[in-house]
Amino acid sequence: MPSPAPLQCLRCGKPDRQPISRPPFPNELGQRLVAEICSECWDEWKQRQMLLINHYGLNVRDPQAREFLVTNLRAFLFAEGDDQAEIDPSREGDVSW
């Protein structure tokens, strides 16, 4: 497999970044992530996603949970929307959404 062309990452703004090795979603969002986001920022998102899943006790098979994560992904990587969830330890176990 030829190595993918480097990109300038939309999130961190650094040139000559390594893209994500393959689309993480089988849709337009997945294509966009490969085209615009570097693998390091993607790794940062995956860490944050784990925090969100643990913090909110998300079931990733739940469509509502997936939508919540995609909304946060867009806010985190593309700075879209302003509804990025806060991880507030004082509200542990007291989250309704």
Position 9 contacts Zn ion (CB under 5 A): yes
Which structure tokens are listed for 29? Answer: 């969002």
Name which of residues 35 to 74 contact Zn ion (CB under 5 A): 38, 41
Q: Which residue in the set 11, 69, 77, 85 belongs to the binding site for Zn ion (CB under 5 A)?
A: 11
Q: In the beta sheet, which residues pair with residue 19? A: 38
Whole-angstrom Cα distance, residue 71 to residue 93? Answer: 21
Position 33 contacts Zn ion (CB under 5 A): no
> Hunting for tokens 């913090």 — which residue is that?
55
Residue type at 66?
A: R
Q: Closest distance between Zn ion and the C-beta of residue 18, in Å?
A: 9
Position 34 contacts Zn ion (CB under 5 A): no
